[in-house]
Amino acid sequence: MKYWKSRLRLGIELVALIVFIVVGGMVILSRTLPPSPPGVETPTEARYYTKLDGKGVQCQLCFRTCIIAQGQRGECGVRENQGGTLYSLVYGQPCAIQIDPVEKEPLYHVLPGTTTLCLGTAGCNLKCIFCHNWHMSVRTPEETDNVPLSPEEAVNKAIEYGCSSMSFTYNEPTVFYEYMYDVAKLAQERGLWTYFQTLGASKPEP
């Protein structure tokens, strides 16, 4: 019995240490990032939606196809109808920035031994009760500590820190599609690989 209590205590301590390292790394990296250059504007107009009568809109990005009234947001909490135009509230506003070994993503035999710059924002189009990133995924942009970071600046940081790739993760990347797309396009132009860690929650067109 004492043996198992000792093993349990050791496991708890290891988990606490891992959480401390991950959270600490995210905080340290975010504080080393300078203010982003001009051009990071939020909100940014969404790319996949339909305008409806009475200034309503219907988001066409994910399977939910939310019908959103004026002044309201979709299920993800980060796409808002402002005057009949749908906007992303998290473009250039990641709340999680972390450099990880690529194996942690987890990717097996994909650029082994390299690092990847991970980005995530507030919001998600699912509400999984077991989500270990709930402090981001169920929060709105107003409830998270965001770092203004343009696509250009994000790619520059990945290269500066010696990363071979960039990963969109932590929350469902579909909800920050516009930002993810622009970052990925620039990253690939500069020779970086990109990873999209998704639940498969987008519609076919995007």
Do 191 and 144 share a domain, yes or no? yes
Angle in degrees, CA 122, 184, 45, rounded to 5: 55
The residue type of 177 is: Y
36 found inside a domain: no
Do 59 and 136 share a domain, yes or no? no
Which domain does 169 fall in, by range?
91-196
CATH number at residue 95: 3.20.20.70
Directed axis angle between helix 177-189 and helix 151-160, to 10°?
50
Per-residue pLDDT of 63-119, as tens digits, reads 999 999 999 999 999 999 999 999 999 999 999 999 999 999 988 889 999 999 999
Per-residue pLDDT of 17-75, as tens digits, reads 454 444 444 544 444 444 444 444 568 999 999 999 999 999 999 999 999 999 999 99
